[in-house]
Amino acid sequence: MLPHNKKLLIYIGLLFAILYIIIVFSFYYILKNIAISQNERKLQNILLYERAQKHYIDNVQKKCIYSLQNKNILPKEFFDPKIMSATYITRNTLDEYNKLRKKEHLPEIKYKIASDNPRNPINKANKFELELLKKFNNHELKLYSQKISINSKDYIYYAIPVAPNNQICMKCHSDPKLAPKDLIKQYGDKAGFHENIGHIRALLSLTIPLEEEYALIKKISTVFNLIVLGLFLIAYFIIYIIIKRLDKKDRQIIDNSYIDELTQVFNRKKFNSDIKENINNNTELSPYLMLIDIDHFKKINDTYGHPVGDYVLEELTKLIKQNIRSNDKFYRIGGEEFAIISTQKNYDDEMKFAEKIKSIIENHNFDKVGKVTISIGFTELNPDEDYHQWYKRADEALYEAKETRNTIKSK
């Protein structure tokens, strides 16, 4: 394949590789963000459900219990966290939820009810949670979400405030003297009291691992990557076929530009290119340059006309082509001047080769013209010699041969 077409294929390959990397990473990044967004919605739904549950406990369940107490069906000092503490119920509901997830082989969701004034020490808010509660109470935040890393694994942390204290909450969270005695017996009269209406005393946070989504992303990405890679390979193969066909046409054009139209051997343009390449010869054989000139060719043209002169050129070319080796390169470099670049073991072999060419032409009978002779000059490439010097010495040898005609000279 021609060098410029090879470069084109390499550039296209590099472009496809860069595009493939960009597409693969972009798709993975988009999927990852979608997974995080979906998990955030999932957690938000769970938290909203828990908020709804607390609302039901405070506004329906507790009212029902207080009504039973007012009717003396239940003692007025009655308090049981299993049915009256939204925090207790939420924590146990989430425990049951995780048990169900475990049965379904789903990752556990970590949760915490964090309070700035908890009755149960396990609900004590840390420094970060206290800061969140402060922002929730100051209406700086409505919810909080963040991707975090725990033990080199990615999680989504999501926090939402519980509903602010209302009038019903004050029975258990204002003055300890107003609280049911059963509550005081269970938790004491120190923690969880002296709160105000409207105060957000706790937040509910959930932390869910992203490993399930990442595993799905990996599967989707693998399939997508293979499809994209396949499409790029098909596109590259099509481009390769097109460029290969164009390369073939380019070669034909180049080859035609290197061929002499009349004799169908290499022309001067090809000779100028090849003689430079032979300077960098790395073989054990020595390069030789042979120049051939048809004796008295002008006389042939003047006597028989140019069509006959063209016939002589074609016939002579055919004879020489039939008697050179496949690795010898044969050129028409002027009107009646030819050149052969060959490699030989030594001077004697090149001389025998020249004598063979001279003899074949001399003994051939050309139609209408009869006998035609040639003059030959040849020379071996010297070490550290440039192609100009090489050609000049061969030309000088030919000039000497043409002085006597039908002669071989060397330099």
Strands ordered across the beta sheet of 374-380:
329-332, 337-344, 286-294, 374-380, 408-410
Active site residue 213: no
Cα distance between residue 116 and residue 203, in whole Å: 9
In angstroms, the CA 339 to CA 331 distance is: 5
Contact present, 349 and 339 (Cβ < 8 Å): no
Where does residue 69 rank: exposed (0-12), middle (13-18), buried (19+ CB within 10 A)?
middle
127 to 112, 114, 120, 124, 142: CA distances (angstroms): 14, 11, 17, 10, 19
**CA dihedral defined by 301, 307, 310, 314, rounded to 10 degrees?**
-140
Tokens describing residue 170: 């004050």
**Token couple for 333:** 């470099």
Which of 336, 362, 385, 403 is an active site residue? 336
Token couple for 394 = 């061969």
CB 77 within 8 A of CB 181: yes
Residue 156 backbone dihedrals phi, psi, to 5 degrees = -105, 125
Supply the residues annotated as catalytic.
336
